[in-house]
């Protein structure tokens, strides 16, 4: 039987710094692409590990590009949520947990 290998650190692919945060473990973001048939980059795969500062610098650049691309659009742009998924899900989960932890009131029909 082979010993199980574990990851003890992930280095940021941009700045080379460790993504390990003392007492909290690995904290990193990943930028991924898997280009398929029909793409100019067919068959190419990318995965870039980013520390927190590099991730948010990259996200800032993408938000800036989106702002420029939609500058004259009639639609309002909330750039603060561009790409954010889990924070919203987490907030919804917390709200749901709060609702389900409230004491339930029993209602009688016709009363």
User: Going residue by residue through the chain (111 aa), what tens digit of pLDDT does each one get?
Assistant: 778 777 778 899 999 999 999 998 888 999 888 889 999 989 999 999 999 999 999 988 988 888 888 788 777 767 676 766 655 555 555 555 555 555 544 434 444
Check: CB of residue 43 under 8 Å from CB of residue 35. yes
> Cα dist. 25→16, 19, 22, 77 in Å?
17, 8, 6, 34
The DSSP H or E segment spanning 46 is strand 45-50
Strand partners, 26: 20
Interatomic CA distance for residues 54 and 59, integer angstroms: 9
Comparing CA positions, the residue from 46, 41, 8, 42 lying closest to residue 30 is 46
pLDDT at 17: 95
């Amino acid at each position: 039987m082979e010993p199980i290998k574990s990851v003890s650190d992930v280095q940021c692919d941009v700045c080379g710094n460790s993504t390990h945060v003392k007492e909290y473990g690995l904290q990193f973001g990943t930028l991924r692409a898997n280009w398929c048939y029909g793409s100019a980059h067919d068959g190419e795969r990318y995965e870039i590990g980013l520390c927190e500062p590099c991730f948010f610098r990259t996200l800032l650049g993408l938000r800036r590009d989106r702002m420029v691309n939609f500058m004259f659009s009639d639609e309002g742009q909330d750039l603060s949520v561009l790409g954010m998924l889990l924070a919203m899900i987490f907030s919804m989960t917390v709200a749901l947990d709060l609702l389900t932890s409230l004491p339930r009131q029993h209602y009688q029909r016709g009363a």
